[in-house]
């Protein structure tokens, strides 16, 4: 009897941990939207008193005797999108609940459904419309939306959001990170209008290993009449129609080379697809229509796979000339969110000679991947399973899987995204392996067209000049990311000169981090820490060392730009900045920038076999 009860309990727990399918509206920028960005009223609420006294009702005193101990209208403001830490100096170190409020006027339209969409809110968000709770969202870097078709008023409305960035052991990330815990409504907030029956989500890419077969699906939401969906790629004269099955889903699979010519005119015969690559980032306008709805998207077609030590793009080996990057705004600091921020950061990566960027350690804003599509930069995208986590906690796994699910849902049509990373520098303990195996399997289930990786750092010192990596997680990855700090946390830069690497897997390796700290303009001997000369020398020796690794398929040194970190204290050197950037937070290029640029320019000239 006790055993039966235990089994039931366990199945409930495991059932509870199974994340729900993504329910996000794909391609929000391609829909009819109304921005709620701008100035919002705010109340800082360290004790979360606002929940009990119902801040979400946004109440005004009924009369002079009525007791209401808050007033959004008279409260300070914050800009949305944006973190609160860099907007108000009194909030720089603030971690906890903070309430946002704003009103908006909305005119309802017939046969229209309306959603309230958030690009991200760090960390836990409770959302209310006109005093009624819409729901909650946990996770600071992925989008979420609520349908408000029946809750929104024709006329005046108000939305209240409690955002709480307090760190918790069972959260993802957990309590310790080497980046600033920027809180707030950090990305766009908008209303999204769609027809009663609409194209909720879709996925379109080349089938694995094919350069002419397109595979994917389209998911409709709402009543349907004709049950037919059309895919058009006008620049390639492609028109493909198929049926929608009863659950609203249409499977898409067709070979461009086998499609007939539209109305048999040779001018309208489908053209072979020009494949996307960093050198030729060709994007096609893809139009999906059916049941009275129509969305269009820019998609490039390419294949990404592994073969032994090699990463193949469109069937050819590619060396990933990369850099790691945080979502820190250049010059002003704080969480980056604007097109300008992203263009500056990716522009610097291009200037370095990169064809690849590792977006560390969490999903960056959605504009980054769209820009990378256009600029010809392959991407590594990661969920913030970072350092230690509450590995045995089903809630923690569920939150981590939901972040993976929503990142894939949001960026699956981004051509630039080549790798999904399931974590960074996690300790080798059994429960961690189970946790990450589950996420890896889930990511493969959601997207079989991309590569799964993780940044590993648990290596053995087999001898003073031998480093061995045999992390069991490597067995579940397509590509091994390795973080190593030879010459900074591990020995001296000259140790690179004789260092040998032993890697237990016959898989491509990306050195996902190496680096050294140096504030811009700090000069001195190459063996003096914190000088640009030390950082530059270390990069020279690292590059030479890494080129000796036979399975090296790429690198993303740490890091593009200095970024805020609560773990960096050295006065007049760090001042709450991690100084391992090749560029300072003011855009000044350090010596190491040019060392890496020179290497990448040489590599770019090397014809790939």
- Ramachandran sector of residue 22 (left: φ over 0; alpha: ψ -120 to 50; beta: rest): beta
Site for ligand GCU in 445-484 (CB under 6 A): 483
Q: Which of 122, 578, 584, 591 binds ligand GCU (CB under 6 A)?
A: 578
SS3 state at 11: helix
Q: How far is the CB of 530 from ligand GCU (least distance, A)?
A: 13
Q: Show the binding pattern over residues 300-319: x = contacts ligand GCU (CB under 6 A), - = does not.
A: --------------------
Q: Exposed, middle or buried by CB within 10 Å (0-12, 13-18, 19+), for 502?
A: middle
Q: Rank residues 180 and 558 by Cβ distance to ligand GCU and give the closer one.
A: 558
Q: Rank residues 356 and 558 by Cβ distance to ligand GCU and give the closer one.
A: 558
Q: Rank residues 365 and 556 by Cβ distance to ligand GCU and give the closer one.
A: 556
Contact (Cβ atoms closer than 8 angstroms) between residue 416 and residue 358: no
Would you tell me how many other CB atoms lie within 10 Å of the CB of residue 106?
Answer: 16
Q: How far is the CB of 455 from ligand GCU (least distance, A)?
A: 6
Q: How far is the CB of 304 from ligand GCU (least distance, A)?
A: 24
Q: Rank residues 42 and 522 by Cβ distance to ligand GCU and give the closer one.
A: 522
**CA atoms 31, 345, 122, 428: torsion sign:** positive
Q: How far is CA 60 from CA 39, 65, 71, in A?
A: 20, 12, 7
378: which strand partners?
356
- Listing DSSP states for 395-455 in one string gives HHHHHHHHHHHHHHHHHTT-TTEEEEEEEES----HHHHHHHHHHHHHHHHH-TTSEEEEE
Task: Give yes or no for residue 178 binding ligand GCU (CB under 6 A).
Answer: yes
Contact (Cβ atoms closer than 8 angstroms) between residue 422 and residue 436: yes
Q: How far is the CB of 113 from ligand GCU (least distance, A)?
A: 41
Q: How far is the CB of 191 from ligand GCU (least distance, A)?
A: 36
Q: Rank residues 348 and 558 by Cβ distance to ligand GCU and give the closer one.
A: 558
Task: Give yes or no for residue 558 binding ligand GCU (CB under 6 A).
Answer: yes
Would you tell me how many other CB atoms lie within 10 Å of the CB of residue 288?
Answer: 23
Q: How far is the CB of 358 from ligand GCU (least distance, A)?
A: 10
Q: How far is the CB of 490 from ligand GCU (least distance, A)?
A: 11
Site for ligand GCU in 30-89 (CB under 6 A): none
Site for ligand GCU in 96-155 (CB under 6 A): none
Q: Rank residues 27 and 483 by Cβ distance to ligand GCU and give the closer one.
A: 483
Q: Rank residues 424 and 542 by Cβ distance to ligand GCU and give the closer one.
A: 424
Task: Give yes or no for residue 537 binding ligand GCU (CB under 6 A).
Answer: no
d(CA 404, CA 384): 9
Q: How far is the CB of 306 from ligand GCU (least distance, A)?
A: 23
Q: Rank residues 219 and 556 by Cβ distance to ligand GCU and give the closer one.
A: 556
Query: Cα 32–34–35 angle (5° rounding)?
Result: 135
SS3 state at 289: strand
Q: How far is the CB of 175 from ligand GCU (least distance, A)?
A: 14
Q: Which of 219, 396, 415, 424 binds ligand GCU (CB under 6 A)?
A: 424
Q: Rank residues 147 and 484 by Cβ distance to ligand GCU and give the closer one.
A: 484
SS3 state at 62: coil
Tokens of 55: 């801040």
Q: Which of 513, 532, 533, 537 binds ligand GCU (CB under 6 A)?
A: 513
Tokens of 365: 């804003």
SS3 state at 28: helix
Q: Show the binding pattern over residues 365-384: x = contacts ligand GCU (CB under 6 A), - = does not.
A: --------------------
Contact (Cβ atoms closer than 8 angstroms) between residue 359 and residue 481: no
Contact (Cβ atoms closer than 8 angstroms) between residue 515 and residue 496: no
Q: Rank residues 370 and 580 by Cβ distance to ligand GCU and give the closer one.
A: 580
Tokens of 385: 């399973």
Task: Give yes or no for residue 432 binding ligand GCU (CB under 6 A).
Answer: no
Q: How far is the CB of 422 from ligand GCU (least distance, A)?
A: 14
d(CA 301, CA 293): 24
Tokens of 202: 């879709």
Q: Rank residues 358 and 414 by Cβ distance to ligand GCU and give the closer one.
A: 358
- Listing DSSP states for 315-378 in one string gives TEE--EEEEEE--BPTTT-SB--SHHHHHHHHHHHHHHT-SEEEE-SS---HHHHHHHHHHT-E
Q: How far is the CB of 461 from ligand GCU (least distance, A)?
A: 17
Task: Give yes or no for residue 562 binding ligand GCU (CB under 6 A).
Answer: no
Task: Give yes or no for residue 328 binding ligand GCU (CB under 6 A).
Answer: no
Task: Give yes or no for residue 425 binding ligand GCU (CB under 6 A).
Answer: yes
Query: Cα 491–492–498 angle (5° rounding)?
Result: 90
Q: Show the binding pattern over residues 197-236: x = contacts ligand GCU (CB under 6 A), - = does not.
A: ----------------------------------------
**Residue given tokens 């189970």 in the structure block:** 434
Task: Give yes or no for residue 580 binding ligand GCU (CB under 6 A).
Answer: yes
Task: Provide CB contacts within 8 A for 591, sequence distance 6+.
Answer: 532, 533, 535, 536
Q: How far is the CB of 458 from ligand GCU (least distance, A)?
A: 12
Number of residues counted as binding ligand GCU (CB under 6 A): 9
Tokens of 434: 């189970």
d(CA 28, CA 32): 8
Q: How far is the CB of 178 from ligand GCU (least distance, A)?
A: 4
Q: Rank residues 116 and 336 by Cβ distance to ligand GCU and give the closer one.
A: 336
Q: Rank residues 70 and 380 by Cβ distance to ligand GCU and give the closer one.
A: 380
Q: Rank residues 101 and 513 by Cβ distance to ligand GCU and give the closer one.
A: 513
Contact (Cβ atoms closer than 8 angstroms) between residue 490 and residue 484: yes
- Residue nearest ligand GCU, CB atom distance: 178
Q: Rank residues 394 and 566 by Cβ distance to ligand GCU and give the closer one.
A: 566
d(CA 198, CA 333): 39
Write out the residues near ligand GCU by the rule CB under 6 A. 178, 361, 424-425, 483, 513, 558, 578, 580
């Amino acid at each position: 009897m006790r055993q039966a009860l235990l089994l039931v309990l366990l199945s409930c727990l495991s059932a509870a941990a199974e994340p729900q399918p993504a329910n996000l509206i794909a391609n929000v920028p391609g829909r009819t939207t109304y921005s709620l960005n701008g100035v919002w009223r705010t109340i800082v609420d360290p004790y979360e008193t606002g929940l009990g006294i119902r801040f979400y009702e946004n109440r005004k005193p009924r009369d002079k005797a009525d007791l209401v101990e808050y007033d959004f209208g008279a409260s300070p403001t914050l800009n949305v999108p944006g973190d609160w830490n860099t907007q108000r100096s009194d909030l720089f170190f603030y971690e906890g609940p903070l309430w946002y409020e704003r009103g908006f006027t909305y005119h309802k339209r017939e046969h229209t459904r309306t959603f309230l969409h958030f690009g991200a809110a760090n960390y836990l968000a409770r959302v209310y419309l006109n005093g009624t709770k819409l729901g909650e969202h946990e996770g600071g870097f992925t989008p979420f939306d609520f349908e408000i078709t029946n809750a929104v008023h024709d006329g005046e409305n108000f939305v209240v959001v409690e955002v709480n960035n307090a760190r918790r052991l069972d959260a993802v990330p957990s309590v310790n990170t080497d980046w600033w815990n920027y809180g707030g409504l950090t990305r766009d907030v908008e209303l999204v209008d769609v027809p009663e029956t609409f194209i909720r989500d879709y996925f379109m890419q080349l089938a694995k290993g094919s350069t002419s077969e397109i595979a994917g699906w389209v998911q409709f939401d709402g009543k349907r009449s004709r049950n037919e969906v059309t895919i058009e790629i006008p620049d390639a004269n492609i028109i493909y129609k198929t049926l929608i099955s009863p659950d609203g889903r249409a499977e898409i699979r067709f070979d461009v080379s086998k499609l007939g010519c539209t109305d048999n005119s040779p001018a309208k015969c489908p053209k072979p697809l020009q494949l996307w690559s960093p050198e030729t980032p060709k994007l096609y306008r893809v139009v999906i229509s059916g049941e009275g709805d129509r969305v269009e998207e820019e998609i490039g077609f390419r294949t990404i796979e592994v073969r032994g030590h090699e990463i193949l793009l469109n069937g050819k080996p590619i060396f990933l000339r990369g850099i790691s990057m945080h979502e820190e705004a250049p010059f002003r600091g704080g969480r980056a969110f604007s097109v300008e921020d992203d263009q500056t950061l990716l522009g610097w990566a291009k200037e370095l000679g990169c064809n690849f960027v590792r977006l560390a350690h969490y999903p960056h804003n959605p504009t980054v991947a769209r820009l990378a599509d256009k600029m010809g930069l392959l991407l590594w995208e990661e969920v913030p399973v970072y350092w230690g986590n509450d590995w045995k906690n089903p809630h923690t796994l569920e939150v981590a899987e939901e972040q993976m699910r929503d990142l894939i849902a949001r960026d699956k049509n981004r051509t630039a995204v080549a790798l999904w990373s399931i974590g960074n520098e996690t300790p080798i303990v059994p429960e961690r392996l189970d946790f990450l195996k589950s996420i890896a399997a889930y990511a493969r289930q959601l997207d079989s067209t991309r590569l799964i990786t993780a940044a590993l750092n648990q290596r053995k010192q087999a001898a003073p000049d031998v480093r061995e990596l045999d992390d069991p997680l490597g067995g579940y990855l397509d590509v091994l990311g390795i973080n190593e700090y030879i010459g900074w946390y591990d020995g001296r830069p000259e140790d690179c000169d004789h260092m040998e690497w032993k890697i237990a897997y016959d898989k491509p390796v990306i050195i996902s981090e190496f680096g050294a700290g140096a504030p811009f303009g700090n000069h001195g001997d190459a063996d003096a820490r914190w000088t640009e000369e030390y950082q530059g020398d270390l990069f020279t020796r690292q590059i030479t060392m890494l080129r000796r690794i036979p399975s090296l398929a790429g690198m993303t040194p740490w890091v593009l730009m200095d970024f805020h970190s609560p773990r960096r204290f050295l006065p007049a050197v760090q001042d709450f900045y991690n100084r391992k950037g090749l560029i300072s937070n003011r855009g000044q290029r350090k010596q190491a920038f040019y060392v890496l640029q020179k290497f990448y320019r040489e590599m770019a000239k090397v014809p790939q076999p």
